Chain A
Amino acid sequence: MILLEIENRVVRETLDVRFATAAGSKPEPVTVIVADFDGVQYHIHNPGGDKTKVQVSIAMKFYKELEQFSALDLLRAEYGDHLCEKAENGYNVSLIYDLTSLPADPAARDLLSKKAASLKRNCFATVFMKYFEWQQSGETEHKRAVIHYRDDETMYVEAQHDRVTVIFSTVFKDEDDIVIGKVFMQEFKEGRKATGANPQILFSHKNPPLELQKTPGARSGDNIGYITFVLFPRHFTSATRDNTINLIHTLRNYLHYHIKCTKAYIHSRMRAKTTEFLKVLNRARPDSDSKAQKKTITGKTFNK
């Protein structure tokens, strides 16, 4: 539970159920609208009322920014025939699965549903992949990528000659969050000493870090924080690349999730402590001491 899941569990399970029933009995109609992190929406349904086909569509506010990094190419490579040429109305990307022509092997079906559930992650991956490629091939003239993945928060990716930097800007809506967020970032900064493999992480509170000083639109304020990841080539070799993308694109949600968990934990501790205090105080009241019940010989009971 400490790490957030990369796939969307709802999409995965809906598809699993559909694929399983398709093999045997008549397929049932399906309509599901699911929201995911970062303002992303999934829609699963039967296009045109045709129960033998299931369409999975995703809507992301920032898809246009991803398109500049040839998002479609990567998605085509990943999903092959399942990718629709034209996305559904109001959505950015659609996949279509024909229940009658699914592979018989349950493991292969599992893989299909897993890939569909990772649709959001793959869209993010397009940006990272492009920058990893550019860094590896040594091209550094490409400008920085700016992706507004949430209303107030932006992600910047840049490739340099020996590294790729990813900068997240994040907003802390509550002022207590800021303090707890700072403690967390302190630990992230120092955590790298534990193992040598992880990337360098820097944190800047209120003002954008040096690299972004000249960028217009980079906000500053008391409740704004900037997290910088410095990724070295060993982080995006073909073996580690997927892992790195998985971890980085959910970082902002991971951080806020844990801040909220910490606050909930503090609350439950305080509640426990106040009940303890109350117990101690009530010891001071004489009439709350146990009433001794006494019986007379004849059997009548009375309170003393």
Chain B
Amino acid sequence: KNQVRNTLDATLNLQSFDSQLVERHNKPEVELKTSKELLLTPIVIPKSETEGVLIEPSVNSLRISIKIKQSDEIEKILTKKFTRFLCQRAEQFKILRRKPIEGYDISFLITNTNTEQMFKHKIIDFIISFLDDIDKEINDMKLAVNARARSTAENFLKNF
């Protein structure tokens, strides 16, 4: 967790950088990957074998991809539904990317405009709390499904 925070702190110094290829355009370089010198090295911070965070920084934008722990089928479908839900509201979230990167469950794209509009430390706080909350939420929902199944089975069977 602290590693993620430190990395974000270091890499979130974004500044506006006009595109070198097309005049008058300002694009997030991490998405386009047009010029090698503008990109910094991507960093992978694994929490375990199945979970991890990928951070790809560049001069004016930062991409964070998260892989959430999904140990059984029900966690898989819950994660899928939840991330789809969030991505549909990407417009409201501003920093959320509509499609996750290959191999990951959800991705955030933070550009220099975002850092100019929002406090940097608050963005980092949000990402960190997001990592915690999403794991907790998936667990809670799985427990709720199991509890529901148990009570419906009990109610049915006790009538015999």
Contacts and interface: CB of A to CB of B under 8 A. Distances in A.
A3 B159 contact: yes
Interface string B116-135: 01110011011001100100
Nearest to A188: B153
A179 B77 contact: yes
B128 to A, nearest CB: 11
B92 interface: yes
Contacts of A175: 77
A86 to B, nearest CB: 37
B14 to A, nearest CB: 15
Contacts of B152: 2, 184, 187, 254, 258
A184 to B, nearest CB: 4
A198 B144 CA distance: 25
A55 B144 CA distance: 46
A184 B153 CA distance: 7
Interface string B137-160: 100110011101111111111111
Interface stretch (B19-27, B41-49, B60-68, B79-87): B79-87
B24 to A, nearest CB: 27
A191 interface: yes
Contacts of A269: 137, 140-141, 144
Interface in A270-295: 270-271, 273-274, 276-278, 280-281, 283-287
Contacts of B145: 180, 183, 262, 266
Nearest to A192: B157
A265 B133 CA distance: 19
Contacts of B146: 183, 187
B39 interface: no
Contacts of B33: none
A115 B91 CA distance: 56
Given A243-B160, A274-B89, A277-B130, A187 B153 contact: yes
A162 interface: no
Contact of A244 (B94, B149, B160): B160
Nearest to A189: B153
**Which of B89, B152, B155 has most A Cβ within 10 Å?**
B152
A198 B125 contact: no
B74 interface: yes
21 contacts: A2-B152, A180-B77, A183-B74, A184-B149, A190-B153, A194-B154, A195-B157, A199-B160, A235-B160, A240-B160, A251-B156, A254-B156, A258-B149, A262-B145, A266-B144, A269-B141, A270-B82, A273-B137, A274-B85, A280-B125, A280-B126
Interface of A: 2-3, 175-176, 179-180, 182-184, 186-188, 190-192, 194-195, 197-199, 235, 240, 243-244, 247, 251, 254, 258, 261-262, 265-267, 269-271, 273-274, 276-278, 280-281, 283-287
Interface of B: 73-74, 76-78, 81-82, 85-86, 89, 92-95, 117-119, 122-123, 125-126, 129-130, 133, 137, 140-141, 144-146, 148-160
